[in-house]
Amino acid sequence: MNSLPETDCYVLHGGSLLHRLPWKTGDSYGAIAECYGDFTVRHYGQATVVFDGHRERPSIKDNTHQTWEKNMNPIVSFTAETQFSGKKEDFLSHHENKADMYALISKGLTERGCHIIQSPGDADVDIVRATVERSRLCTTTLVGE
Supply φ then ψ for residue 124, to 5 degrees: -55, -50
Q: Which residues pair with 117 in a beta bridge?
A: 50
Q: Is the pLDDT of residue 21 over 60?
A: yes
Q: Judge whether residue 70 has pLDDT over 90.
A: no
Is the pLDDT assigned to residue 108 strictly greater than 70?
A: yes
Residue 37 has pLDDT above 70, yes or no: yes
User: Residue 1 above 50 pLDDT?
Assistant: no
Res 8 pLDDT > 50: yes
| Confidence grade of residue 16 (pLDDT, cut at 50, 70, 90) | very high
Domains of the chain, each with CATH number or no CATH: 9-143 (3.40.50)
Q: What is the mean pLDDT of residues 69-86?
A: 86
- If one counts every other C-beta atom within 10 angstroms of the C-beta of residue 17, the result is 23
Backbone angles phi, psi at 57, to 5 degrees: -135, 145
Lowest mean pLDDT across 8-17, 51-60, 130-139: 51-60
With H, G, I as helix, E, B as strand and everything else as coil, classify residue 54.
coil
Asked if residue 56 has pLDDT above 70, the reply is no
Q: Has residue 5 got a pLDDT over 80?
A: no
What pLDDT shows up at residue 3?
54
Beta bridge partners of 9: 140
